[in-house]
Amino acid sequence: MLFPYHAESPLTPAAVKLQREHLKEWERQHFAEYVVFDLIDNRTQFYDLLLKQLWLQFGLECSTLTLIATGGYGRREMFPLSDLDFLILSEGTRDEQTEEKIAQFVQFLWDCGFDVGHSVRSLVECEREGKQDITIATNLLESRYLSGNSALFTALQALLKRAEFWSMADFFNAKVQEQLERYQRYHNTGYNLEPDLKYSPGGLRDLHLLYWIALRHTGEMTLAGILQSGFIYPTEYQQLLESQEFLFKVRFALHLILKRYDNRLLFDRQIKVAQLLGFEEEGNRGVETMMKRFFQALSCISRLSDILIKHYREHFLTRHYDLLIEYLDEDFQLINHNLCLRKPQVLCKQPERILDLFSI
């Protein structure tokens, strides 16, 4: 770890608060020295060690329980003000003593100042509730083992891989529908002067959408893993990685200057964020340079997200659809209302035919 974790025993809320304050101050001082991915990983490791110690401190290390990171915590994407999302998985119903220990564990985290997003479920409840709610299903798919009964976590993973839990087609359609609804809330544009880093079109949620689709299809949920699976090309990987890194840097810097969770890059915050990122030109030029790069990153993610979603629908889900094919001429056709080539080599042999796309 970059920042040392001090494991006092027993831990108190005051001691944890002090460690978190020291961590955030260390991040402010060393922000420019480290790659943002390392800072995020360092904070994730800090929380892992903390929760594992508290799990033991509250006597929850038993054969019938498992502590599992979910959501952004499951993805190892912990920013200074991120929620702490986790699942306590049980083999079956829990007795009163176990319920009391769990309540004390969760209350301790609230007392430490964490925004806790937790659930307590059995395997049967995970399956039932996950089938009914796409958000719960997604959180479960992103789960990561922390402590407790590892066999129980393995059983959960096996359950999630079943086609009857969420078929690839149903999962894809549900997540794309979420994206459409989110776009409507943000007026279908990321070019808001005070954008939301997470939910604006081209923001982090569009990156997450690619992760989720690839995770359901290939089991991979990192860009490097998605590249290895063949889901994206190396050039697309590099563009997404650079855009992701810049958005991560902006979000991390934003969280360092705020005291309460928020992802909106408001005007009064842009100057401080630009300074942390090293954009220190005179007047507003530093902010303008930062925002230009920011919107370029949004545009890249939005464009590639749209291309990859269409590619996935055409190449991996066609067996789930009745193909609607309309032949336009000897070279072009519509497949499910998408314009396609009838022969892949057409534009290589007749590049001028690309101009015909504007008149079809």
Quick one: pLDDT at residue 190? 58
Provide the pairing of β-strand 116-122 with 84-90: parallel
Q: Distance between CA 293 and CA 308 in Å, rounded?
A: 22
- Please identify which residue in the block is written with the tokens 């810049």: 246
Q: Estimate to the nearest angstrom the gap between the alpha carbon of 1 and the chain centroid.
A: 22
CA dihedral 345, 346, 349, 355 (to 10 degrees): -140
Quick one: pLDDT at residue 200? 92
- Please identify which residue in the block is written with the tokens 């919107």: 295
Give the helix ranges, DSSP H, for 161-203.
168-185
| Contact present, 79 and 20 (Cβ < 8 Å) | no
| Contact present, 109 and 177 (Cβ < 8 Å) | no
Q: Distance between CA 104 and CA 12 in Å, rounded?
A: 12
End-to-end CA distance of the chain: give it in Å, rounded: 58
Question: How many CB atoms sit inside 10 A of residue 54's CB?
Answer: 21
Question: How many CB atoms sit inside 10 A of residue 351's CB?
Answer: 9
All domains of the chain in start order, with CATH: 13-161 (3.30.460.10), 168-317 (1.20.120.330), 325-357 (no CATH)
Quick one: pLDDT at residue 191? 66
Quick one: pLDDT at residue 320? 46
Give the helix ranges, DSSP H, for 122-167.
123-132, 134-141, 150-160
Q: What is the DSSP letter of 266?
A: -
Plot region of 83 (φ>0 → left; ψ -120 to 50 → alpha; else → beta): beta
Q: Distance between CA 185 and CA 193 in Å, rounded?
A: 16
Quick one: pLDDT at residue 326? 85
Listed residue (45, 85, 46, 86) closest to 65, CA to CA: 86
Q: Distance between CA 226 and CA 233 in Å, rounded?
A: 9
Quick one: pLDDT at residue 223? 87
Q: pLDDT in tens for each of the 360 residues of the chain?
A: 788 887 788 999 999 999 999 999 999 999 999 999 999 999 999 999 999 999 999 999 988 999 999 999 999 999 999 999 999 999 988 999 999 999 999 999 999 999 999 999 999 999 999 999 999 999 999 999 999 999 999 999 999 999 889 998 899 999 999 999 998 888 766 568 899 999 999 999 999 999 999 888 888 878 888 888 888 889 999 999 999 999 999 999 999 999 999 999 999 999 999 999 999 887 789 999 999 999 999 999 999 999 989 888 877 776 545 567 888 888 888 877 778 888 878 888 888 888 888 887
